[in-house]
Chains A and B, each alone.
Chain A
C-alpha cells in the first residue's frame, strides 16, 4: 500500500470503459450477483425457507390430493404432479427477485449503484442471475423429494436435463417480470402480496395440479394456452411422465409445449428486460 493511493489526485482514477454494453452488463452483473450470493452464505435461514416450501408442496399434493385427483392414462398422480410442482415453484421463486430489488430500494443501496459509472442493466442482470442459484437448489431438493415419494424419470438423461433447463429459462424470464414489479412497489411487503395475486391464478388455472381435461369451455382454452401449462406439459413429456391418454391434445401449444414455452420465454425477455432496465433508471429510493 503506497501513500499516493490515499491522495485524492486521481492516481487511481477508474479505467476508461473499453468494453461494449453487453460485456459491461455481464461483468458488472456478475459483481452484483456475487454480492447477492454472499447474502445466502450470511443469512442461510432464507435459503432454508425457500427450500422447505417446495418439499411441503410435493408432500401435500402427493398425499392429500393424490387419491382424489384422477389422471387420464396409465400414470400415477405423483408422477403427473411433479412436473406441475416444478413449474409452480420456479414461477413462485421469481417473487424473490422482486423482493430483493424492493429491499435494495428501501435500504438505499440502489442510490449507491445508480451513482456509479456501472452498467444500467447490471443490478438487474446480477439479481436475476443470482436467483437462478435459488432455483437450481430448489429443483434439486424437489427432485430428491419427488424420487422419495415415487416420481421417476422415464426418458433419457439428455431429455431430463432439457426439462430442467427449460424450467430454469422460464424462471429466469419470469424473474424479469418480477424485477419490474419490485422496482415499482413501495416496499417488500407489497411485492409478496402483488406477486401472489398474479402467480396464484397463473399456476392454478393450469394443468399443474389437475389434468387440462378437467377444465371446460373458456377455462379450458386459458389452460391450454397458459405457458405454465405448456411448461408443465413439456416437463412431463421430457421426464416421461405422460401416459398414452395424455398425448392427444387438441390445442397447438399442448402439442408443441417446448417450442411454445420457448416462444413465451423469448417474448417475456424482449418485453420485460428493456422495461425493467428503463424503470431502474428512474428508480429512486423510498
Chain B
C-alpha cells in the first residue's frame, strides 16, 4: 500500500509563534487520518502547507507522490480541499459555483455542467441548486463546499474542520457524507477539534498540540495508552457500597472511586474482571442498576496527554478565521 500523504518535519513560523514545530504525517492509500487538536494547535497551518497554500519554512511533503514544494501545480491536480469556512461564492448559485470550479479544473463547459448537476444531486442540493448560495443554511454551504472539493474526483481529500460550527443534525449529515466518500476508497486527511468526530471517521489519529504530534495511533490504541478499562457499578442501595468494595478487591488495580451510588475501579483482564465482580455481587444478593466495562473516551486521552481539557464545543469560534495563526 502506498502512502498518499507524506509529510516530514514540517515547520512554519509566524512572527511570534511557531505554528508547526516539526510535524510528521503519513496517510496510506484509502485511509482516513484524523488530525486532532484544540484551536491554535497548528491543524489549519498543516493543512495549508499540504494544500500548497502556504510554503513551510522547513520540511518536505508529498501528495500522491508529487512534491508539494517542487510541483505545487501537480499537487493541486491531486487534491480536493474543503476548508473551515465554506469557500463558496454567495452570489453564485450552487450550480454556478460547481460549474466554475469544474471549468477551473480544465473541464469543458458541458462536462463541468454535467458534473455540477451530479454532485448537487449526490449532496442533496438539487432543489437548491439554482438559488444563490447565500440563501443556503450553514450545513448546505458546507456540503456545497465539499462538493467543490470533489469536482475532479481527486485521489486525496483534505477536509479542514468540516463540521465546526454546524448544528448536531447537519454534523450527522456531514459525517454520513464523509463516511460514504471513505467507503468509495478516497484517502482523507481530516482535521477536527471534536474527539467524537475523529473516533467515528478516522482509521488513525494524530493528536497535535503546539505544532507537534503528541500522540498517534488508532482510537483504541490511544485510549489504551491513557489507562485501561474500568469496571463501573451503579447500585440501587447505597448502604451496600461496602459489599461492592469487597467484590472489587480481588480485581481492582489501585483505589476504587466512589461517587454517590457509583463505584469505579481500573481493572486488568476486562471481561473476566467484569464477570468476577458480577458473580460476587449476585452471590451477595446486591441489586445493581447498571454494571459495565468502561473504556476511556478521547476526551480522557487528550486530558492525560496535555493536562488540559479539549474544547468540546467550539461552535462559537467558527467566525474567527485567524485564530489558528494568531493565537
Binding site for B on A (CB under 8 A): 1, 5-15, 17, 28, 31-32, 34-35, 38-39, 42-43, 107-109, 111-118, 122, 284-286
Contacts and interface: CB of A to CB of B under 8 A. Distances in A.
Given A10-B153, A12-B153, A284 B53 contact: yes
Contacts of A43: 91
A113 B115 CA distance: 18
A10 B85 CA distance: 26
A63 to B, nearest CB: 37
A13 to B, nearest CB: 7
B148 A112 contact: yes
Given A6-B122, A43-B91, A35 B114 contact: no
Interface stretch (B73-81, B164-172, B250-258, B293-301): B73-81
Contacts of B53: 111, 114-115, 284
A12 B102 CA distance: 10
Interface in B109-128: 111, 114-115, 117-118, 121-122
Nearest to B48: A284
B132 interface: yes
Contacts, number: 111
Contacts of A284: 48, 53-54
Nearest to A117: B76
A111 B100 contact: no
A184 to B, nearest CB: 16
B51 A115 contact: yes
Nearest to A10: B153
A122 to B, nearest CB: 7
Interface string B143-163: 001001010110100000000
Nearest to A116: B104
B101 interface: yes
Contacts of B86: 108
A112 B152 contact: no
Q: Which 6 A-B pairs have the closest CB atoms?
A: A112-B87, A117-B76, A115-B81, A14-B105, A118-B104, A108-B87
B285 interface: no
Contact of B115 (A10, A12, A111): A12
Contact of A111 (B73, B87, B105, B186): B87
B96 interface: yes
Given A14-B77, A286-B321, A112 B101 contact: yes
Given A14-B107, A38-B91, A115-B81, A8 B115 contact: no
Contact of A15 (B52, B106, B122): B106
A2 to B, nearest CB: 9
A42 B152 contact: no
The A interface, classified by DSSP as helix, strand, loop or mixed, is loop
Interface size class of B (residues with CB under 8 A): 35 or more
Nearest to A283: B53
B107 A111 contact: no
Contacts of A28: 103-104
13 contacts: A8-B153, A8-B181, A8-B184, A10-B155, A11-B153, A12-B111, A28-B103, A108-B87, A108-B321, A112-B83, A112-B87, A116-B76, A116-B104
Contacts of B74: 117
A117 B106 contact: yes
B115 A5 contact: yes
B185 interface: yes
Contacts of A107: 85, 87, 90
A13 B152 contact: yes
B3 interface: no
Contacts of B84: 108
B92 interface: yes
Q: Tell me which of B74, B105, B111, B145 has the highest count of chain A C-beta atoms within 10 A of its own C-beta.
A: B105
B81 A7 contact: no
Contact of B184 (A7, A15, A35, A112): A7
A108 B101 contact: no
Given A109-B89, A112-B148, 16 more contacts: A8-B150, A8-B155, A9-B153, A12-B152, A13-B153, A14-B107, A31-B104, A35-B89, A107-B87, A108-B84, A114-B53, A115-B81, A117-B105, A118-B106, A285-B85, A285-B321
B47 to A, nearest CB: 10
B222 interface: no
A9 B178 CA distance: 16
A108 B85 contact: yes
Contacts of B73: 117
Contacts of B115: 5, 12
A14 B106 contact: yes
A39 B185 CA distance: 37
Contact of B83 (A14, A31, A39, A108): A108
Interface in B266-323: 321-322
B88 interface: yes
A113 B153 contact: no
Contacts of A42: 91, 132
Contact of B52 (A9, A38, A115): A115
A38 to B, nearest CB: 6
A286 B53 CA distance: 13
Given A35-B92, A38-B91, A112-B148, A15 B114 contact: no
Nearest to B157: A8
Given A31-B100, A31-B104, A109 B88 contact: yes
Contacts of A109: 87-89
